[in-house]
Every structure is written in C-alpha cells, then in structure tokens.
Amino acid sequence: MTPSRVLILDSQRAVSGALAVALHAEHDFEVVKTVHTVEAAATVLGILDVDILLLDAELLRGDGVDIIRELLLRRSDRLPIVVMTDIDDSRLATEAVRAGVSSWVPKRLGLQHLMSVLRGARNGESWFPPPLLGAVLADLARPQPSPAEEKISTLTSREREILQCMVNGLDRTAIARRLFLSANTVRTRIQNLLGKLDVHSAQEAVALAARAGISGDEAPDARPFSRLNPHLSH
C-alpha cells in the first residue's frame, strides 16, 4: 500500500520533530513536511500532495475554526484533519467538526493510538473519545443560530431592551421615557448596539431584529418607524 502522506502542523518544533521521527519509522506513513504556522501549512497544501493533516489543537484557540477553513480552501478534494489535543472542550470540538475536522485524539492516549486513528482517517473513518463524542453529537443536533441571531446575542440586556423599543416603533425620546433613561444615554446605547450589529441605521437594526425573530408589540406611545427621528442612528 502507498504510504499515507502526512503534513504535521504544530507550533512546538520539538513535538513535530518527534512525531515525524515516529511516523517515518512506520512503513505506511510518509511525512511530507513539518510546519509551525498556518501560513506555512497553507503553502504546503497548495503545492504538495497531502493525504492527512495532523494538527495541534492549541492552534485552534481563538480563530481556530477560521484556520481550518483557510487550510481546506487549498484543497479541491477531501482532506482528513486529525487533531492532537489536551483540550476536552466539546464546544471547540463541535466547531472543529463543523469546519472539517475528522478526528480528535487526546495526547494522553499515546502514539500508537494516534497512528491507529491516522490509518483510519486515510480510509474515511473518524474518531472521537467516547466521553466527548456524546457532547459533540448533541451539539451538532441542536439548530444553529442564524447570523442575525448571533449578532443579537452580543447585545447586553439593556441594549436588547432598547432594540425591542426600536422594533416597537418608539423614537429616542419615547425610549428614554419608557426605560427611565436620559436622551443622551439612549443615544449612546443606540450607537453601541448599531456597532455590535454591524448596521448603519435604526431601520437596518430593526430589519435585522426581524430576521432574528424579534417582533413588535402594540405600545401606546409607539409611532410608525418611518416617522422616527432621522437622527436616531447618529
């Protein structure tokens, strides 16, 4: 059988070097390169044939999911990604699976187990530790929030109250009266929530709220939105 070509991406040179030596000792693996940055891995994937990407989970912290997607863009075919990890984080594992990771291997299970997972990955198999697998499957079964819902979730409770008032058609003065705030405070809060929602006007904020399932109610002092203060978003 042709050896599986493995690209190792690990920020620790000593670790990647030891892995390369161990894999070279096996007849069914060939390490095409050991790299230490995402940029270097992307370059290798663009010019060399790689069957499996072996990735250190530490690189997934922060913008890890985007890292995976960036690397997969370099390939037109399927690329199994096996993650080595000391992190038992079901949320991070779920995000990694959604981005394209096929296996999640705790380092404590040892080198021989890792090699077994790598052999399975070449054949289209996936592996997750059983305690983590249940949590990941449960997370994957839950409906994902829409982009609008994700943006709304970044608002504070007070900003959500103000957005609800905007959806109800209240102008800045009416919002201040309803929530017992000063007009200047309302103006500042609206500026902040527009920034968080990545919109430029109150009308856009209300439209985004509607996409997130937020509907208005009949407020006695509500006015049609078209009559809102034109300076509401400034």
Delineate the domains of the chain, giving CATH numbers in brackets. 4-141 (3.40.50.2300), 147-227 (1.10.10.10)
Average pLDDT over the chain, rounded to whole? Answer: 84
Q: What is the pLDDT of residues 133-170, one digit of tens each?
A: 887 877 767 777 788 888 998 889 899 999 999 999 99
pLDDT(220) > 50 = no
Residue 218 confidence (pLDDT): 45
Q: What is the pLDDT of residue 114?
A: 94
- The number of residues in the chain equals 234
Predicted local distance difference test score (pLDDT) of residue 62: 65
Predicted pLDDT at 196: 92
Amino acid identity, position 144: Q
* Prediction pTM value: 0.62
**Per-residue pLDDT tens digits for 27-47:** 899 999 999 888 888 889 888
DSSP 48-59: S--SEEEEEGGG
State the average pLDDT over residues 84-95.
Answer: 83
Stronger pLDDT, 203 or 77, i.e. the higher one: 203
Q: Is-contact 94 134, C-beta < 8 A?
A: no
Distant-in-sequence, close-in-space partners of 65: CB < 8 Å, separation ≥ 6? 95, 96, 98, 99
Task: List the structure tokens of 143.
Answer: 């409906």
pLDDT, mean of residues 211-227: 57
> CA nearest 18: which of 5, 28, 27, 31?
31
pLDDT reported for residue 232: 40
